[in-house]
Amino acid sequence: MKKDIKDAAGKTAAYTKEQLDQIRQEAANKLTAMDKDIDALQAKAGPMSDQAKAQAQKALDDLKAKRAAAAAKLDALKAAGQDAGQELKAGYDAAMDNLAKAYEAAKKGLEQ
């Protein structure tokens, strides 16, 4: 009986580790995709007038700060053990939501 419980606990922990590894990889992929989107917005800001470029740069700076915050959350998620993984994933998800909102705001500002 004890062996069965121990085996079940081990399988659960392995599944949780695999799940956490998958979450980490998906999070890294999302951040890499966002980097490409940010670079594309940066390129759009190049040919703008000085005033528009200044406004775009402010939005891009905010976007980059939020990207750095998301990267820090990702680093914490990568370093986390299984016990802290769920809590850190929630923090990463919140940081990515903030980053996505900042991206949309910057994109909208550049399109005007």
Model pTM greater than 0.85?
no
Assess whether pLDDT exceeds 80 at residue 94: yes
Return d(Cα 94, Cα 43) in angstroms, integer. Answer: 27
**Coil, strand or helix at 94:** helix
- Residue 14: what pLDDT? 44
Res. 4: pLDDT tops 90 = no
Contact assessment for residue 30 and residue 66, using Cβ atoms and an 8 Å cutoff: no
Phi, psi angles (nearest 5°) of residue 34? -65, -35
The predicted pLDDT at position 65 comes to 95
Q: Name residue, tokens 């956490």.
A: 20
Could you tell me the residue range of the domain that residue 12 belongs to?
2-111
Q: Tell me, what's the pLDDT at 83?
A: 73
Instruction: Quote the CA–CA distance of 32 and 101 in Å, as a whole number.
Output: 17
Token readout for 90 is 């929630």
DSSP 35-73: HHHHHHHHHHHTTS-HHHHHHHHHHHHHHHHHHHHHHHH
pLDDT grade, residue 8 (50/70/90)?
A: very low
Residue in the structure block whose two tokens are 């900042």: 102
Which pLDDT tens digit goes with each residue over 12-68?
444 477 888 898 899 999 999 999 999 998 888 878 888 888 888 888 999 999 999
Which amino acid, 12?
A: T
> Which pLDDT value is given to residue 19?
85
Count of domains forming the chain: 1
Q: Is the pLDDT of residue 103 over 50?
A: yes
Average of per-residue pLDDT across 96-106: 92
- Gap between the terminal Cα atoms of the chain: 68
